[in-house]
Amino acid sequence: MKILLICTVPFSKTGIPCHIRNYYNELNKYDCAIDICSSHFDREFVRTLTDCGEGHLRELKRGDLLGYIKKLRALIKNNKYDIVHIHGNSSTMSLELFACFNLRHTITVVHAHNTSCSHPFINSFFKPFLLSLSNHKCACSSKAGDWLYGTNTPYTVINNGITSGDYLFSNDARKSMRNRLGVDDDCLLIGHIGEFNEQKNQKFLIDVAGSLDSKNQRYKMVLIGDGWLKDEVITYAKSCGVGDNIIVLPAQNDVTGFYSAFDLFAFPSNWEGLGMVLIEAQYSGLTCLASDRVPLETRVTDNISYLPLKTEEWTGAIGRFKPASNEIRETTKISDIYDIEKCASDLFRLYDSWIKAR
């Protein structure tokens, strides 16, 4: 089985590339050959791929659309891929479908990862092509699938699998990370991981921090990520007088120790296809606060609440929060539906059934 995974965003430490990385590493254990195509590969992030030589990475710039489609078509045709699995946020995945047009050997799969996009007119324009040219449609959640394909089009939800054992709570990691951050064990440590942009809504967390300050709540807040709004959020925190309580860190290839260090995880997205970090946080036994705009499929424990984006609601929830003991975090009951071994096995069987049916 030959598979091409197409990442329509730069291949770096963000949601879609992490999803592709997790499946790539697990599917490599099966009888298949997998390549990854993207417009740019972050070399540091590429190191998190297992058994991946340069020959498996196909860098094609998406800027020159006609040139991109032509080069991608040649790549697919020459390598005779059985499956071309396209990951993206909108109907512009049609560009990759154009490259596959009339290649009868190849099965095309589009995979929705969000519930909104920055170009609604373009998305609407390309949607008929997306629906008619793709052989199979997938989504990271029912909310993402309904948004991109509509409620009358069949699609398959593919869970965002993670190596669940990597995220289990570790008291040693907690002590080490809190020492690194300069946070003592009696201080409430609120964590957030996400690209700094309008979707992830970090400015809301700064407003929450300001409200906590007014109530004399002893806390620190760690924001991990990169993105075009990062400097603006840092400036906003200083202007609100909470800069000393906010720790801003760049995107990390390994965040497992941070989850153990946190007491509470906050995820106030304005919209969300799923939210993998919420699932990772729950596997670490963390209590999570998420906006009510986040899909309910993120619930894998009873330790998550979905709140409206009102500062007083979040401040109140944090004020009532009592951190779980280390023993409770170590024994939290968690659903296995996002475990990557199970998820990859399900996807491989799906690929195999599609190939046998073509």
State the average pLDDT over residues 308-328.
94
Tell me, yes or no, whether 149 and 208 share the same domain. no
Tell me, yes or no, whether 170 and 305 share the same domain. yes
Tell me, yes or no, whether 130 and 195 share the same domain. no
Tell me, yes or no, whether 70 and 154 share the same domain. yes
Q: What is the pLDDT of residues 21-75, one digit of tens each?
A: 999 999 999 989 999 999 999 999 999 998 776 679 999 999 899 999 999 999 9
The residues, ordered by sequence, that sit 6+ positions from 172 with a Cβ below 8 Å of its Cβ are: none
pLDDT of residue 334 exceeding 90:
no
Tell me, yes or no, whether 195 and 115 share the same domain. no
Structure confidence at residue 213 as a pLDDT band (50, 70, 90)? confident
Tell me, yes or no, whether 155 and 18 share the same domain. yes
Q: Total structural domains in the chain?
A: 2
Tell me, yes or no, whether 109 and 86 share the same domain. yes
Tell me, yes or no, whether 109 and 206 share the same domain. no
Element (H, E) at 328: helix 326-330
Tell me, yes or no, whether 157 and 170 share the same domain. no
Tell me, yes or no, whether 8 and 76 share the same domain. yes
Q: Tell me the residue range of the domain where 134 lies.
A: 2-161+339-357
pLDDT value of residue 358: 85
The residues, ordered by sequence, that sit 6+ positions from 268 with a Cβ below 8 Å of its Cβ are: 200, 201, 202, 204, 205, 208, 289, 290, 291, 309, 314
CATH number of the domain within which 195 lies: 3.40.50.2000
> What is the token pair recorded at 236?
């906003």
Tell me, yes or no, whether 285 and 186 share the same domain. yes
Tell me, yes or no, whether 189 and 99 share the same domain. no
Question: If you search the block for the tokens 């500062």, which residue do you land on?
Answer: 311
Taking residue 142's Cβ as centre, other Cβ atoms within 10 Å add up to: 14
User: Per DSSP, which regions of the chain are E strands?
Assistant: 2-7, 33-38, 57-59, 83-88, 107-112, 136-139, 156-157, 188-193, 219-224, 246-249, 264-267, 287-291, 304-307
Distance CA 204, CA 132 (A): 40
| Full-model pTM | 0.88
pLDDT of residue 76 exceeding 90:
yes
Q: What percent of the chain has pLDDT over 70?
A: 99
Distance CA 340, CA 33 (A): 18
